[in-house]
Amino acid sequence: MRVPAAAISFPDEDREWILSQIDESLRSGQLTLGQVGRQLEAEFADAHKVAHAVSVSSGTSAVEIPLRVLECKGKEVLVQANTFFATAAAAVSAGADIKFVDCDPATMAMDPAALQAAIGPNTVGVVVVHIGGFIPPAIRDIQRICSENGLWLFEDAAHAHGSSLDGQMAGTFGVAGSFSFYPTKVIAGGEGGMLITNDSHFVDEAKIYRDQGKASFLTNDHTRLGYNWRMSEPHAAIALSQLRRLDEFVDHRRHVAALYDEALADGPVTPLAIPDESRCNYYKYIAFLPAGVDRSFIKKRMREEFEVALSGEVYELPLHLQSVFEPWADGPLPGAEELCARHICLPVSAVMTDEQVELVITALNEVIPS
């Protein structure tokens, strides 16, 4: 592909540093829950202006562990429908009875009015997702609704490393937040995840859960039904090298997004509107197709004729329409269904060139009727 859907950045000096850290781990025999992981936790917490960070094995476990700490087993948890499988699956695995909430097609975010209507007598909490790295102003309404109804708020911020709203960082609007280091993410750790919070008790519980539910690392007294959710030192080293370039990565992604914004001002697709108060990291650059345009046909033409690969949607099919979640489906959710069907994600990365952006725009103008 002349323009790949995604690309990662590991400069020579970063690879050398990562290898040196892995070599030190091999020399010491400390391959998990070691010094590099602790350094990653400290620097991640600092970068997101929060008191505590706990490294774990994946973005999925970074969702499930907090939900277990929040004791949602047998209780109802509200989850927005336009998110990845893992968000809802983690809640189910934690024992929750999930209910899907519609979203606002204009923002990709949970619709506060739909949230208010979905709250029932057994509802204990809400899971929101910052789709594409965008924190919408509506998060304030969601906070208020949760507070007024005695519900906890948890953020799946897998897309949102370094994103903020009015200077407040992703993952700090509720009781805790989770992040993913999957290879496509803004911080590509290979695998791994992180949860952040200002609650020290929450941290203590999370560390028990991530290490097979053991009361401490050196004991076999298991006090929780935990799991092997530990992050290895090699993965921590990779993620730490990426974290130290987070500002650089986000700045470049925002540069690419600004080029798209300018080029698409009068173009065939409509970009997702990001207000000034929201500093989006542009994990995804989301735009909406004109009515009646076949997304799969557009993607095929761009790939075959221009060697431009569009990024994966967020997401192609809302969760309430996926067969695995049929037991929890409760009627149509028109907002989620509309936006999942109509949007595309233009390629963006920390190493994308201006020339590649121009090629994407050229391809779009060619394959989509104006």
Q: Pull the structure tokens for residue 307.
A: 């060697």
State the virtual CA torsion across 254, 37, 209, 94 in degrees, nearest 10. 20
Q: What was the pLDDT predicted at 216? A: 82
Q: What was the pLDDT predicted at 202? A: 94
Task: Please list the residues that pair with 308 across neighbouring strands.
Answer: 3
Q: What was the pLDDT predicted at 106? A: 87
Q: What was the pLDDT predicted at 175? A: 98
Q: Pull the structure tokens for residue 303.
A: 């790939």
Spatial distance between the Cα atoms of 104 and 109, rounded to a whole number of angstroms: 6
Residue 251, CB-side half-sphere exposure with 13 Å CA sphere: 4
Q: Phi, psi (5° rounding) for residue 54?
A: -125, 120
Spatial distance between the Cα atoms of 192 and 235, rounded to a whole number of angstroms: 7
Q: Pull the structure tokens for residue 248.
A: 């650089």
Q: What was the pLDDT predicted at 198? A: 98
The candidate with the shortest Cα–Cα distance to 73, out of 175, 225, 179, is 225
Q: Residue 211 to residues 1, 57, 89, 192, 287: CA-CA distances in angstroms?
A: 41, 10, 20, 14, 41
Spatial distance between the Cα atoms of 13 and 35, rounded to a whole number of angstroms: 20
Spatial distance between the Cα atoms of 109 and 83, rounded to a whole number of angstroms: 10
Distance separating the N- and C-terminal Cα atoms of the chain: 25
Domains and CATH numbers, the chain: 12-101+110-243 (3.40.640.10), 246-367 (3.90.1150.10)
CB of 127 within 8 A of CB of 154? yes
Angle between helices 354-367 and 295-306 (to 10 degrees): 130
Q: What was the pLDDT predicted at 267? A: 84
Task: Please list the residues that pair with 103 across neighbouring strands.
Answer: 110
Spatial distance between the Cα atoms of 313 and 337, rounded to a whole number of angstroms: 13
Give residue-wise pLDDT tens across range 59-83. 999 999 999 999 999 999 999 999 9
Q: What is the mean pLDDT of the chain?
A: 96
HEC per residue, the chain:
CCECCCCCCCCHHHHHHHHHHHHHHHHHCCCECCHHHHHHHHHHHHHCCCCEEEEECCCCHHHHHHHHHCCCCCCEEEEECCCCHHHHHHHHHCCCEEEEECECCCCCCECHHHHHHHCCCCEEEEEEECHHHCCCCCHHHHHHHHHHCCCEEEEECCCCCCCEECCEECCCCCCEEEEECCCCCCCCCCCCEEEEECCHHHHHHHHHHHECCECCCCCCCECCCCCECCCEHHHHHHHHHHHCCHHHHHHHHHHHHHHHHHHCCCCCCEECCCCCCEECCCCCEEEECCCCCCHHHHHHHHHHHHCECCECCCCCCCHHHCHHHHHHCCCCCHHHHHHHHHEEEECCCCCCCHHHHHHHHHHHHHHCCC
- Measure the CA angle with vertex 81, ends 79 and 86; round to 5°: 70
Rg, the chain, Cα only: 21
Q: Which residue has the tokens 């060139």?
A: 353
Q: Pull the structure tokens for residue 342.
A: 């109509």
Tens-digit pLDDT profile for the chain (370 aa)? 899 999 999 999 999 999 999 999 999 999 999 999 999 999 999 999 999 999 999 999 999 999 999 999 999 999 999 999 999 999 999 999 999 999 998 899 999 999 999 999 999 999 999 999 999 999 999 999 999 999 999 999 999 999 999 999 999 999 999 999 999 999 999 999 999 999 999 999 999 999 999 988 787 899 999 999 999 999 999 999 999 999 999 999 999 999 999 999 988 899 999 999 999 999 999 999 999 999 999 999 999 999 999 999 999 999 999 999 999 999 999 999 999 999 999 999 999 999 999 999 999 999 997 6
The candidate with the shortest Cα–Cα distance to 187, out of 197, 178, 179, 195, is 179
